[in-house]
Amino acid sequence: MISFVFGLLISGCNREKTACFGYRSTPIEGWEQHNVLTFKVDTIKQSGEYGVYVSLRTTNAYPFQSIFLLVKTQLVSPEWNNQDTLVCVLTDKQGIHSGHGISFYQNDYLLKKIKLQRGQSGNIMVSHIMRRNILPGISDVGVTVKKE
């Protein structure tokens, strides 16, 4: 019981520093280019520097070593819009996965560090910009924005 209460206290503390945390699943047939995944950034409680992280869960069905992502950040109050390209290396030349896992591989990438103001909120949108329209083997995409 004591460890349960302690766990709740710790998770409550981390919520103050986390403005966005979530995963979106992609279709089992494959992730299409036009399928933009949107993540809500909650109202910022403390001004400061925040890290923006993108996470991928992949399987052996993914046919390439890396993936190119387009990440758009739209924040309000004050307005701040930005667009970044993130190159995520998933395997080496021998096909050895860089992520953690057995049948699903988890990879986390720092997109950037940004200064956020108290009261800001908005959205982060992620899509792939690979030449192939439908990408199999990407099961989930996640975004985390947390105070550094």
**Residue 5 confidence (pLDDT) above 50:** no
Domain with 131 in it: 2-147
Q: 139 — phi, psi (to 5°)? A: -90, -35
Task: Note the pLDDT of residue 13.
Answer: 46
Task: Note the pLDDT of residue 4.
Answer: 38
| Structural domain count, the chain | 1
How many whole angstroms separate alpha carbon 134 and alpha carbon 67? 12
pTM, two decimals, is 0.87
CATH of the domain at 47: 2.60.120
Task: Note the pLDDT of residue 92.
Answer: 92
Give me the torsion for CA of 81, 117, 54, 35, rounded to 10°.
-40
Q: Could you read off the pLDDT of 93-113 as tens digits, one per residue? A: 988 899 899 889 999 999 999
Task: Note the pLDDT of residue 78.
Answer: 87
Q: Could you read off the pLDDT of 116-144 as tens digits, one per residue? A: 999 999 999 999 999 999 999 999 999 99
CB-CB contact of 122 with 56 (8 Å): no
Task: Note the pLDDT of residue 15.
Answer: 58
Q: What percent of the chain has pLDDT over 70?
A: 89
**Residue 91 confidence (pLDDT) above 60:** yes
**Residue 7 confidence (pLDDT) above 70:** no
Q: Mean per-residue pLDDT for 50-57?
A: 97
